[in-house]
Copies of this chain bind each other. A is one copy, B any other.
Amino acid sequence: MRHAEFPSQICSIARSLEILGEWWTLLVVREAFFGARRFGEFEANLGIARNVLSDRLSKLVEAGVLDREPEPGRGNPVAYRLTEKGRELLPVLVALMQWGDRWINSGREPVTLVERETGKEIAPLEVASREGRPLRARDLVVTPGPGADAVVERRFGGGKTE
């Protein structure tokens, strides 16, 4: 699963990218959220080469993001479904989508995510305090967490700010 170009890093962003950071991987996850189940659906919706798709699906299954289950039918078809680990990628995809909507597609977004029950567009994702105050990067401080190693302690132990 690891990419030869990356050094070993304990950072959760780096480790997430080891799973998600290969070309096409997050678009395969996007398709799973959009309802794709069969290999052929992913292939048709993405216009992706079959060998690349096969590699990305296998790695996502190995990483526990997708489940691979046999389906009834001719030709031993299988279906891919998001696990709970996979479904919890929703904020990652929505954050990328909303950033692209604003900064690349300039507000003319190709698709809008709406709440099923009300038909209303979802809110912009916002980094916030536990009490709900919106926070910007300058309001945040990086501190060592429970899984900090010596490098992290040395770097952020003094309460170094972003």
Seen from chain A, the residues whose Cβ lies within 8 Å of a Cβ on chain B are 3, 5-7, 9-17, 19-21, 23-24, 26-27, 30, 33-35, 45, 47, 52, 64, 82, 85, 87-105, 107-123, 125-130, 132-133, 135-149, 152, 155-156, 160-162
Contacts and interface: CB of A to CB of B under 8 A. Distances in A.
Contacts of A101: 12, 145
29 contacts: A10-B105, A11-B30, A12-B110, A12-B111, A13-B100, A16-B99, A17-B23, A20-B96, A64-B103, A88-B99, A91-B91, A91-B98, A105-B147, A110-B145, A113-B141, A114-B141, A114-B143, A115-B133, A115-B135, A116-B140, A118-B129, A119-B141, A120-B129, A122-B127, A122-B130, A122-B135, A122-B140, A123-B129, A123-B130
Given A17-B23, A91-B91, A114-B140, 10 more contacts: A88-B102, A90-B136, A94-B95, A95-B95, A113-B143, A115-B139, A116-B138, A119-B141, A122-B129, A125-B125
A69 to B, nearest CB: 18
A42 B118 CA distance: 46
B148 A110 contact: yes
Copies of this protein, total: 2
